[in-house]
């Protein structure tokens, strides 16, 4: 089994989302002794954002790209190859200002490529990254789950579904900024959710 871990926190140390994603990986390793894990830490190595230069490179035929354009497209190609090979995807995702981190959005923009990870057909869009299990660990300072202010869960569910990944499981650690007791309760709850998710 090949596992791809995506850490999206801006923090390189002390990130709750990364710690919980690591805990989930360890539980998966315990059940799959032959698991191979690839870690993509977007805080330590941010992927370049989708800008005009990147768009020009992507929309230029491969044989006509400049060396600089080819190098830019190759950065996205590497991320696409990682997720194509993965059987399981684990994401650690903190909430920043009611949304996902910019680092994660750049990764999403990189892996979302027409005719490669999705395509449009006469019947509508078809995701091409099928047959994968996705675990998403969400960490929040406040309490947002199942409220209109939780924009992350529906966004990520829609995005992964669009790319063909429909088996998506969310785990939550909420109230992390509401005092030490609330933080401890949130982390214990998340650990229990991780345990249940792996055993399911």
Instruction: Convert the pLDDT of each residue in 110-153 to its tens digit.
Output: 999 999 999 999 999 999 999 999 999 999 999 999 999 999 99
Q: In the chain, what are the domains? A: 2-199 (3.40.50.360)
CB 86 within 8 A of CB 2: yes
Instruction: Convert the pLDDT of each residue in 170-184 to its tens digit.
Output: 999 999 999 999 999
| Residue 88: both structure tokens together | 């399981």
Report the candidate in 110, 99, 133 with the shortest Cα–Cα distance to residue 42: 110
Q: Which residues contact 82 (CB under 8 A, 6 or more apart)?
A: 4, 38, 40
């Amino acid at each position: 089994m090949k596992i791809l871990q995506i850490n999206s926190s801006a923090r390189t140390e002390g990130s709750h989302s990364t710690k919980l994603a690591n805990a989930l990986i360890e539980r998966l390793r315990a059940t799959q002794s032959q698991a191979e894990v690839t870690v993509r830490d977007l805080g330590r190595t941010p992927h370049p954002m989708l800008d005009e230069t990147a768009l020009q490179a992507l929309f230029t035929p491969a044989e006509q790209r400049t060396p600089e354009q080819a190098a830019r497209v190759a950065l996205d190609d590497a991320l696409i190859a990682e997720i194509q090979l993965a059987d399981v995807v684990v994401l650690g995702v903190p909430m920043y200002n009611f949304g996902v981190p910019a680092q994660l959005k750049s990764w999403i923009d990189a892996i979302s490529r027409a005719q490669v990870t999705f395509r449009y057909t006469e019947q509508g869009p078809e995701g091409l990254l099928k047959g994968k299990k996705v675990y998403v660990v969400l960490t929040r300072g406040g309490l947002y789950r199942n409220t209109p202010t939780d924009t992350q869960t529906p966004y990520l569910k829609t995005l992964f579904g669009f790319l063909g990944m429909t088996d998506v499981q969310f785990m939550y650690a909420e109230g992390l900024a509401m005092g030490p007791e609330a933080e401890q309760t949130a982390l214990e709850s998340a650990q229990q959710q991780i345990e249940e998710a792996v055993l399911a």
